[in-house]
Structure 1
Amino acid sequence: MRLIQFETSQGQRHVGVIEGDQIHVVIATQTTRELALDAIRKGHGLVAEVLARGTEASPFSYSQTLEEGRVLPPLDHADPAHCLISGTGLTHLGSASTRDKMHQQNTADESAMTDTARIFQWGIEGGRPASGTVGVQPEWFYKGDGSIVVRPGSPFNKPAFAEDAGEEPELTGLYVVGDDGKPYRVGFALGNEFSDHVMERRNYLYLAHSKLRNCSFGPELRVGELPRHLTGKSRILRGNEVVWEKEFLSGEDNMCHSLENLEYHHFKYPQFLRPGDVHVHFFGTATLSVADNFHTQEGDRFEISMPEFGAPLVNGIQAGPAELPAGKVATL
């Protein structure tokens, strides 16, 4: 089952089930979060909750709703401060190669390895433990709260101080924390993690700075287990021309960490277990246009697609607001 959140031209919110170009509206349901929390309370899955509520035909086509910019991120929170956006890096086979091919050093001599190569090697050796056991922890980063999320079809803001505006085609895990304080995976969605790779490559300690940007995920939420091997396509369009394009792989067969291990090392922190909160977690990628020395510019559009997730995730780039002048923080 694939779900979306959307709004009518009058601003009324709905949750819909996608079948072809048809939207089947889930009856009396405004948010995916509400749907998920009720499913948790009743002790059954999301599909069962949708079937229990029932659906009705929508007068809107899915393609028209996307074109008019009325599709929302597939999971959110009414208070953006209660939606945490985070991610893990160096999780996919080849991802260290993308980071300047650092892992191609002599991995037998750990003293000669960079921190990037070392943490990637640890993932290969210990990132896929037996189910129910704890493996090595991955690289983790904070992206922002729900206020940084851009809806599918809308442009990312490039900050005035940014050195780059680069795509990161990834899968995201979408979660809610139940009344019992336990995390529940609602499903998966395509994601564009949008980062400043030029800043990051100046020094890996700038990675935290480089991640504090917009992001987008969706448009559809895929309910259920994730196929182990997934092949997608990441494209950049300038006008009507495709100026960069590459296949990207995901799913556990193409990762050096299991999803279970990544989820454990995120939700092991008590501050991430506040009942009712929403979590959006980016699982990483090994495919970036910046690795091919491609430079984006304002007006470009990113298109991330994967057949198993329905419609592609499309976002543009526009100039962000003017930066805060130096020395302009007031003292009370």
Structure 2
Amino acid sequence: MRLIQVKKGRNGRQVVATDGDKSWVVPGHATVYDLALAAIARDTTIETMVDKAGKGAKANPQKLLDAGRIVAPVEHPDPAHLIVTGTGLTHLGSAATRDAMHAKVAEAKEETLTDSMRMFRMGLEGGKPKRGRAGVQPEWFYKGDGSFVAAPGEPLVSPAFAEDAGEEPEVAGIYIIGKDGSPFRIGFALLNEFSDHVVERQNYLWLAHSKLRPCSFGPELLLGDLPEDIKGASRIRRGKKVIFDQPFLTGETNMSHTIANLEDHHFKYPWFRRPGDVHVHSFGTATLSFAAGVKTKSGDVFEIEAAEFGLPLTNPLKTARKEKVTVKAL
């Protein structure tokens, strides 16, 4: 089952569920946030809550998307309490290069490896621990809060000072923290982890700067477990021309870490278990147009899709005007 959130009136929301080829409005629950809290209170699943709610009016997700009515699949009433984070160096790469990558990393001497390759090898060796054991922690970064999130179809705005404006096709886990501080996974969604790869490549210590950019996730929220082997596509359209089109692989089959290990290391921090907060945590990628030599520009449209997630995630690129910021003494 998948869920979307749709604009209703000026500021309202409604939830639409899709199961197979049927889509309908979920009565009695205005938002996915409310639906998740209700499921926690009743000690049940969101899918069970949707089933018990019955079926409202029929819906057509594609028409809703075309009309610009779909927003992010999960929002928080206070955007400051939606936290966007992510992990890197978690994916093995394409099927064609995976074996070569393993051999190169395994045979290299420790002193010849970059910090990034050391971390990647740590993931290969300890990112998939046996159940009940602690695995190696991944690379981790902060992207922003709910104000950094662009709805599906809305522009991803690159700051004027940016040196690159590149997509990263990923899957994100969507979580909510219960009243007792326990994290609950709501589901999974496609996410464009928009970044500045030129800044990142100049010095890996600038990774934090490169990630402070908007992102977009959705349009649909996949309930239940994440499929182990996901084959999607990442494209960039410039007018009527497709200037980039490559597959991206995700799911644990294509990762050096388990989802559980990434979750364990994120939520081990008590500050990330604040009751009521929403977390959007992206799991990394191995496909970048930047690596293929593509230089994006305003007006380009990013498109990320995978069959398991229904509708594609599309966002045009826009560049912000220059700002002059002056710090004033009080």
TM-score per shorter chain, which class? over 0.9
Task: State the match for 1:72 in structure 2.
Answer: 71
The amino acid across from 2:181 in the alignment is G
- Three-state SS of the structure 2 residue aligned to 1:291 is helix
1:81 and 2:94 aligned: no
Task: State the match for 1:263 in structure 2.
Answer: 263
Task: State the match for 1:229 in structure 2.
Answer: 229
1:186 and 2:167 aligned: no
Q: Would you identify which runs of 4 or more consecutive aligned residues in structure 1 move more than 2 Å?
A: 8-12, 18-23, 101-108, 321-325
- Kindly state the Cα deviation for residue 330 of structure 1 after the two structures are TM-superposed: 0.9
- Is residue 102–residue 117 contact of structure 1 (8 Å, CA) maintained in 2? no
Deviates more, 1:179-188 or 1:18-27: 18-27
- Is residue 93–residue 249 contact of structure 2 (8 Å, CA) maintained in 1? no
Task: State the match for 1:310 in structure 2.
Answer: 310
- Kindly state the Cα deviation for residue 167 of structure 1 after the two structures are TM-superposed: 0.3
CA distance in 1, matches of 2:73, 2:328: 38
Change over 3 Å in CA distance of 1:103–1:178 after alignment to 2: farther
CA distance in 2, matches of 1:65, 1:243: 27
- Kindly state the Cα deviation for residue 252 of structure 1 after the two structures are TM-superposed: 0.2
- Kindly state the Cα deviation for residue 132 of structure 1 after the two structures are TM-superposed: 2.0
Task: State the match for 1:329 in structure 2.
Answer: 327
- Kindly state the Cα deviation for residue 21 of structure 1 after the two structures are TM-superposed: 7.3
- Kindly state the Cα deviation for residue 102 of structure 1 after the two structures are TM-superposed: 12
Deviation track 1:253-291 (CA, whole Å, cap 9, x = no partner) reads 000000000000000000000111000000000000010
The 5 Å alignment of 1:118-129 reads 118-129=118-129
- Kindly state the Cα deviation for residue 323 of structure 1 after the two structures are TM-superposed: 2.5
- Kindly state the Cα deviation for residue 104 of structure 1 after the two structures are TM-superposed: 4.4
- Kindly state the Cα deviation for residue 10 of structure 1 after the two structures are TM-superposed: 3.7
- Three-state SS of the structure 1 residue aligned to 2:56 is strand
Task: State the match for 1:61 in structure 2.
Answer: 60
The amino acid across from 2:282 in the alignment is F
Task: State the match for 2:48 in structure 1.
Answer: 48
- Is residue 3–residue 222 contact of structure 1 (8 Å, CA) maintained in 2? yes
- Kindly state the Cα deviation for residue 249 of structure 1 after the two structures are TM-superposed: 0.3
Change over 3 Å in CA distance of 1:86–1:267 after alignment to 2: same
- Kindly state the Cα deviation for residue 57 of structure 1 after the two structures are TM-superposed: 1.3
Q: Compute the TM-score of the two structures, normalised by the length of structure 1.
A: 0.94
- Kindly state the Cα deviation for residue 113 of structure 1 after the two structures are TM-superposed: 1.0
- Three-state SS of the structure 2 residue aligned to 1:176 is strand
CA distance in 2, matches of 1:231, 1:106: 26
- Is residue 107–residue 113 contact of structure 1 (8 Å, CA) maintained in 2? no
- Is residue 103–residue 116 contact of structure 1 (8 Å, CA) maintained in 2? no
CA distance in 1, matches of 2:90, 2:235: 22
- Kindly state the Cα deviation for residue 11 of structure 1 after the two structures are TM-superposed: 3.5
- Count, aligned residues: 326
- Kindly state the Cα deviation for residue 54 of structure 1 after the two structures are TM-superposed: 1.9
1:134 and 2:134 aligned: yes
Give 5+ residue unaligned stretches, structure 2. none
CA distance in 2, matches of 1:108, 1:159: 39
Deviates more, 1:62-71 or 1:300-309: 62-71
- Kindly state the Cα deviation for residue 324 of structure 1 after the two structures are TM-superposed: 3.0
CA RMSD of aligned residues (A): 1.9
CA distance in 2, matches of 1:133, 1:274: 25
- Is residue 102–residue 114 contact of structure 1 (8 Å, CA) maintained in 2? no
The amino acid across from 1:73 in the alignment is A
CA distance in 2, matches of 1:276, 1:155: 28
Give 5+ residue unaligned stretches, structure 1. none
1:162 and 2:162 aligned: yes
